[in-house]
Amino acid sequence: MFDSLSDKLGAIFDGLQKRGALKEADVTAALREVRVALLEADVALPVVKDLMGRVKARAVGAEVLRSVTPGQQVIKIVHDELKETLGSDGQGLNIHRAPPVPILMVGLQGSGKTTTSAKIAKRLTERDKQKVLMASLDTRRPAAMEQLKTLGEQNQIATLPIVEGQTAADIAKRALQAAKLQGFDVVILDTAGRMAIDEDLMAEVEQVRRIADPAETLLVADSLTGQDAVTTAKTFDERVGITGVVLTRMDGDGRGGAALSMRAVTGKPIKLVGVGEKADALEDFHPERIAGRILG
Ligand code: GDP
pLDDT in tens, 246-258: 999 998 877 678 8
Is residue 215 classed exposed, middle or buried when 0-12, 13-18 and 19+ CB atoms within 10 A define those classes?
middle
- The verdict on ipTM greater than 0.95 is yes
CA distance linking residue 59 with residue 29, whole number of Å: 12
The whole-angstrom separation of Cα 294 and Cα 110 is 25
Predicted pLDDT at 256: 77
End-to-end CA distance of the chain: 10
Looking at residue 139, what is its pLDDT? 94
Give whole-number Cα distances, 161 to 93, 180, 223, in Å: 26, 15, 32
Identify the three-state secondary structure at position 254.
coil
Task: Express each pLDDT in 143-165 by its tens digit.
Answer: 999 999 999 999 999 999 999 99
Burial level of 81, CB count in 10 A (0-12/13-18/19+)?
A: buried
Q: With cut-offs at 50, 70 and 90, classify the pLDDT of residue 2.
A: very low
d(CA 246, ligand 1 centre) in Å: 12
**C-alpha dihedral (175, 178, 179, 183), degrees to nearest 10:** -170
Q: Which atom of ligand 1 is nearest to the CA of 147?
A: 8
277 lines ligand 1 (CB under 6 A): yes
Q: Percent helix, strand and coil across the chain, each rounded to 5?
A: 50, 15, 35
| Predicted model pTM | 0.90
**115 pocket-lining for ligand 1 (C-beta < 6 Å):** yes
pLDDT in tens, 157-196: 999 999 999 999 999 999 999 999 999 999 999 999 888 8
* Whether pLDDT at 22 is above 80: no
For residue 3, pLDDT beyond 80: no
CA distance 227 to 211: 31
Tell me if 254 CB under 6 Å of ligand 1. no
Helix 70-86 to helix 24-40 angle (10° resolution) is: 50
